[in-house]
Amino acid sequence: MKTLRGLLLLALPLALSGCHTVLMSPSGDVALQQRNLIITSFVLMLLIVVPVIIATLVFAWRYRESNHKAHYDPEWDHSTIVELMIWSAPLLIIIALGAITWVSTHKLDPYRPLDRIAAGKAVPADTRPLDVDVVALDWKWLFIYPEQNLAVVNELAAPVDRPIRFHLTASTVMNSFFIPALAGQIYAMPGMQTTLQAVINKPGDYQGMSANYSGDGFSYMNFIFHGMSEDDFAKWVAQAKSHGGMLDQATYTTLEAPSEKDPVHYYGSVEPGLYRSIVNRCVHPGPDCMDMLRMPGPGGGGEASASTDSHAAMPMAHPQ
């Protein structure tokens, strides 16, 4: 039995050696700042936890029943020094954690445009973020590149060191968009739009996933995110567009039907305003349509207004 226990203990490090702790070694600056926040908070909490554990062991040993040399004072009931230690140390830790939480909550707000692409490297003034419209379908991901007039199912790509601005929504149920190496997760909800600002700093292929259970095919809602140079990204766009095909409302209606293990698929062009129609639930005209821009009279701007910013009329969801 002891031999088996020893072999199991020896096998544990070998088994854990295959684990890839992507959260602790991210390749995107936003995820890196979030990693540093986790480490800082963990260390601050250890400043209380470790001394308490050590003190517990020391007290248990020193005041054990068999140690007759330990001072015993049955009338003791108060110590100002002990009270100060018990209350001041946790209070200082809470204040520090509160300050860090306050600053990081605003600094890492997913809606806040990036002010840097890496530590000590500010975003160049003339840099324009890469816009990507994300739609969580059952059970696959649709990525629309409005600037490139391109749509892709279950594959995502972006240039290294260029800010990415994701706009996210869902077709039927709430889902969660998560690329651990890039940035934290953010929810995608039907009839609403959330935003995530991010940047990738190293070329490579990274795992993307859904982090919120959404039905039978949830386990297969995975995709690959490619971080690449500007030249390689341009080649990827050209190759994707060469597949042809247009993503219009009729095609989207077929695409949004529940399906599992969908292969990567490219659409060389996208019908103008399709993403807005998806967010406002107007792909299928009906009572659920919330596209106020197309409504004449008060509260709507008619067709003239509909040709303006494609994201102007979308309901916004508060970041979770």
* Per-position DSSP letters for 245-258, written without gaps between them: -EE-HHHHHHHTS-
Spatial CB neighbours of 140, under 8 Å, sequence gap ≥ 6: 153, 154, 217, 220, 221, 259, 262
Rg (CA), the chain: 27
Predicted confidence band at 316 (pLDDT cuts at 50, 70, 90)?
Answer: low
Predicted confidence band at 283 (pLDDT cuts at 50, 70, 90)?
Answer: confident
Sheet hosting strand 150-153, strand order edge to edge: 194-198, 164-170, 130-137, 140-145, 150-153, 265-267
Predicted confidence band at 1 (pLDDT cuts at 50, 70, 90)?
Answer: low
Q: What number is the average pLDDT over the span 89-113?
A: 91
DSSP-derived letter for residue 123 is P
- The whole-number pLDDT of residue 140 equals 95
C-alpha distances (whole Å) from 285 to each of 28, 119, 246, 278 are 40, 47, 20, 11
- The whole-number pLDDT of residue 161 equals 94
- The whole-number pLDDT of residue 165 equals 97
Per-residue pLDDT for 319 more than 70? no
- The whole-number pLDDT of residue 312 equals 47
Predicted confidence band at 86 (pLDDT cuts at 50, 70, 90)?
Answer: confident
Higher pLDDT, 158 or 127: 158
Per-residue pLDDT for 159 more than 60? yes
Per-residue pLDDT for 314 more than 50? yes
- Round the average pLDDT of the chain to a whole number and report it: 85
DSSP-derived letter for residue 22 is G
Q: What number is the average pLDDT over the span 194-203?
A: 96
- The whole-number pLDDT of residue 65 equals 84
Task: Look at phi and psi of residue 265 and say left if phi exceeds 0, alpha if psi is from -120 to 50, else beta.
Answer: beta
Residue 81: count of CB within 10 angstroms of its CB: 7
Predicted confidence band at 8 (pLDDT cuts at 50, 70, 90)?
Answer: low
Contact 141, 223 (CB under 8 A): yes
C-alpha distances (whole Å) from 191 to each of 39, 146, 198, 222 are 36, 19, 23, 23
Closest CA to 114 of 28, 178, 40: 28
Per-residue pLDDT for 150 more than 80? yes
> Domain 117-306 falls in which CATH fold?
Immunoglobulin-like (2.60.40)
**pLDDT tens for each residue of 290-302:** 765 454 443 333 3
> Domain 25-64+78-108 falls in which CATH fold?
Helix Hairpins (1.10.287)
C-alpha distances (whole Å) from 300 to each of 114, 290, 297 are 32, 11, 6
| Backbone torsions φ then ψ of 19, nearest 5 degrees | -75, 140
| 176 three-class SS | strand
- The whole-number pLDDT of residue 301 equals 38
Tokens 């854990």 appear where? 16
Q: What number is the average pLDDT over the span 227-235?
A: 96
Domain range list for the chain? 25-64+78-108, 117-306
Residue 100 exposed, middle or buried by CB count within 10 Å (0-12, 13-18, 19+): middle
Query: How far apart, in whole angstroms, are the C-alpha atoms of residue 84 and residue 117?
Result: 44
**Residues in a beta bridge with 194:** 168
Q: What number is the average pLDDT over the span 77-98?
A: 88
Q: For a pLDDT cut of 70, what percent of the chain falls above it?
A: 84
Query: How far apart, in whole angstroms, are the C-alpha atoms of residue 12 and residue 98?
Result: 37
**pLDDT tens for each residue of 25-42:** 888 999 999 999 999 999
**pLDDT tens for each residue of 51-76:** 889 999 998 998 888 888 888 888 88
Per-residue pLDDT for 6 more than 80? no
Per-residue pLDDT for 3 more than 70? no
Predicted confidence band at 21 (pLDDT cuts at 50, 70, 90)?
Answer: confident
